[in-house]
Chains A and B, each alone.
Chain A
């Protein structure tokens, strides 16, 4: 079926993706490290302290980027899950497999930095409020996807099962996002909003923005590298992978 969907089907070719990833990886890693170092050094060392929390608010420069990426990764996984179910595109399943552990790691980091931040400001490491609990559920959803994926050995049925779980779990994302608005929580509402200026002065939100962008790029690099590994493993018997390995050896 040539025509307007052709670019989309081309995306499904693991070999094509492998080449693209190879080309973008150095650029991704370079810009990610640049932005992350700039944002975090600026935020931790040069941004002004907060009038109320003093220096302890600075963990925001790690907490917020990890929480953003942790939620975005799940949305991306759900979209990839839908692509797996509708178009049966192998690359979408490769994506879900490869990023689930990354998403779990970032969710854990967000929870951990939140606990570290909570003790000096709130007076408690953990409270069962809607934001914290829904974020913990996100971590368990990631664990579920990883476990389900490795429990089913047949590649096709495993892909579909994981895709359905990724799709179903995505309802948790708006709950995390709006938990602080819908219910009484200890966690404060969002500082960054879609429609308004951030509730921070510029020399605080600019380093935060840099580290958020940096972490997204870092995630992309990490996802690409993991996807490449997964592709090589799945396509290990094909001609092009064998040639590639020969080339690398020789």
Chain B
């Protein structure tokens, strides 16, 4: 390669490396601000600030949803399979809100430890399948004695492996039985 070009090549590489390091340091410094929500463990251990509007995210705990008979009040718990946080919300829930699925709630942590949400967003995972497949999967899991209300198996399998819940980490990979489908 021509010496002048080689010099310019090094300049380009130097520029790229410099910008990458700067951006990496900046995003590392702001990582808590970049996170959209606090997970239940962060709320339980007091990492999340009190008396400020924050977002809390996690999976709706199986069997925890209690709807008030005469109003739109809903009580449920969100979990990351390590800690769980009780939630209170009055309003219309998104269509995708079900037990075992993810939610991100905006609201405030009350002194008694209940998170009072004023907005609930549903979070879905990256797995898509036909209803028949989902049903077959749920049946197979019931046969195997696994309690699973919804076939979003990635969370169940991930939590069984003892891994952190996968909505925030990359490992949403379901090694679920539907791969053999």
Residues on A close to B: CB < 8 A? 1, 5, 48-53, 57, 60, 82, 85-87, 120-124, 127-130, 164, 167-168, 170-171, 175, 178, 180-186, 188-191, 193, 196-197, 199-201, 203-204
Q: B126–A188 contact, CB under 8 A?
A: yes
A201 touches B129 (CB 8 A): yes
* CB-based contact A121/B15 at 8 Å: no
Give the shortest distance, in Å, between B128 (CB) and chain A (any CB): 5
- List, sorted by A's number, 12 A–B pairs whose CB atoms are closer than 8 Å: A48-B129, A50-B128, A50-B131, A51-B131, A52-B134, A121-B124, A122-B123, A167-B16, A171-B23, A184-B167, A188-B126, A189-B126
B126–A186 contact, CB under 8 A?
Answer: no
Residue of A nearest to B176 (CB): A199
Write out the residue numbers on chain A whose beta carbons fall within 8 Å of the beta carbon of B173.
193, 196, 199
Which residues of chain B are within 8 angstroms of A186 by Cβ–Cβ distance? 36, 57, 104, 121, 123
Asked if residues B57 and A123 are in contact (CB atoms below 8 Å), the reply is no
Chain B interfacial residues counted at CB < 8 A: 59
Q: Contacts A82-B12, A171-B23; is A190 near B168 (CB within 8 Å)?
A: no
Would you list the 5 A-B pairs with minimal beta carbon distance, nearest first? A51-B134, A48-B130, A181-B170, A123-B94, A129-B36
| B2 interfacial by beta-carbon distance below 8 Å | yes
Bound state CA distance, A116 and B72, in angstroms? 26
Task: Give the Cβ gap from A135 to chain B, nearest Cβ, in Å.
Answer: 14
Is B143 on the interface with A (CB-CB < 8 A)?
no
Contacts across chains A and B counted by CB atoms under 8 Å: 147
Contact status A48-B168, CB under 8 Å: no
Nearest chain-B residue to A196 (Cβ)? B173
**Across the two chains, which residue of chain A brings its CB closest to B98?**
A52
In B1-47, the 8 Å CB interface with A consists of 1-2, 5, 8-9, 11-12, 15-16, 19-20, 23, 27, 31, 34-39
Whether A184 and B12, one on each chain, are in contact in the complex, defined by CB atoms closer than 8 angstroms, is: no
Contact A128–B36 (Cβ < 8 Å): yes
Judge if B125 is at the interface, Cβ distance under 8 Å: yes
Closest Cβ of chain A to B136, distance in Å, is 10
Residues A183 and B31 in contact in the complex (CB < 8 Å), given A122-B94, A171-B20, A196-B173: yes
